Amino acid sequence: MKAKPSRARIATPEGLDAVYGVHAVRALFERGQPPRELWLQEGRAEARLDTLQESARQSGTKCVGVARETLDGVAKGAVHQGVIAFAPPLKAESEEALWFRLGAWQQSSPPLLLILDGVTDPHNFGACLRSADAAGAHGVIVPKDKAAPLNATVRKVACGAADVTPVYQVTNLSRAMARLKTHGVWIVGTAGESAQSLYEVDLMGPVAIVMGAEGKGMRRLTREGCDLLAKLPMTGSVSSLNVSVATGVCLFEAVRQRHVS
């Protein structure tokens, strides 16, 4: 199916998020969440995007051929790879949904959760979601305040993970952590000054790993709500890692322990 070209200046669909990049757009179709509209770069790029056009045809998504300059304007400097989809905005799961899921746990493996305290950069948030999905984490918990929004940038960086990884938004993070404990979830905070290495911590049971904001780390009440604090051993000249990199290391240590068992 050839995308219908549009020579006139066109407006972006109202009320929808722009999702850009081949991987992020493909994920919408693969997850059964096709976008309402698909903009494809005119010219040679259209042939490269044949599979996306076929997915759009099968799902009834409207395709429009546009100039690269139009895509550049919508993406605002981000790499769009010749394609932008317009889909309903992502919405965080409610706090009640988290308690219901934990109360009726049906997974074969114990809960593995990620808590982000004060991560406000959408790029870091998206990268954390990507790591969480890759590690098979069952959800990400964020506070309503001082947290990055679930926007198009997050979707792009997460490469589809933002559409499939549950994000639970809680009103009061320290209170939510206390309630997690009543569900048997062990809460492990990450702190560089801790004397205990993450590799010495048992992550095989129900666990939530807490990552703080870059520079500031966890807030005081968040830190006090942890069952224990652990650090990543740093043997080089740098003193810390980007929060998304540290998130991946921590989550995959839990994966390693669970697979070894």
One DSSP character per residue, 34-58 reads --SEEEEESSHHHHHTHHHHHHHHH
- The rounded distance, in Å, linking the Cα atoms of 153 and 68 is 19
Tell me the helices (H) and strands (E) count for the chain, helix number first. 10, 11
What is the mean pLDDT of the segment spanning 123-131?
96
17-87 and 95-260 agree in CATH topology? no
**Annotation-wise, does 150 bind a ligand?**
no
Handedness of CA 226, 232, 233, 239 (dihedral sign): negative
**How far is residue 31 from each of residues 62, 133, 134, 234, measured CA to CA in Å?**
18, 14, 16, 38
Give the pLDDT score at 97.
Answer: 97
Tokens of 123: 């790029």
- Averaged pLDDT score across all residues of the chain: 91
- The rounded distance, in Å, linking the Cα atoms of 44 and 1 is 14
Of 175, 5, 189, 166, give the one whose Cα is nearest residue 93.
Answer: 166
Task: Quote the pTM value.
Answer: 0.85
**How far is residue 178 from each of residues 49, 52, 203, measured CA to CA in Å?**
48, 45, 18
67-86 per-position pLDDT tens digit: 999 999 998 887 889 999 99
Domain spans of the chain? 17-87, 95-260
> Residue 209: which residues within 8 A CB-CB, separation 6 or more?
112, 113, 114, 115, 188, 190, 203, 247, 250, 251, 254
**Annotation-wise, does 241 bind a ligand?**
yes
39-55 per-position pLDDT tens digit: 999 887 667 788 999 99
Q: Kindly report which listed range (107-111, 156-160, 180-184, 220-224) carries the lowest average pLDDT score.
A: 156-160
Give the pLDDT score at 75.
Answer: 87
pLDDT band at 101 (very low <50, low <70, confident <90, very high): very high
**Annotation-wise, does 203 bind a ligand?**
no
Give the pLDDT score at 103.
Answer: 96
| Amino acid in position 122 | P
What percentage of residues in the chain have a pLDDT greater than 70?
95
| 96 sits in which H/E element | helix 95-103
Domain 17-87 has CATH 3.30.1330.30: yes
Of 227, 223, 226, 231, give the one whose Cα is nearest residue 250.
Answer: 231
DSSP letter (8 states) at residue 227:
S
Give the pLDDT score at 23.
Answer: 85
Which CATH architecture best describes the domain 95-260? Answer: 3-Layer(aba) Sandwich (3.40)
Tokens 């919408």, residue?
28
Query: Please, are residues 180 and 103 in contact by the beta-carbon 8 Å criterion?
Result: no
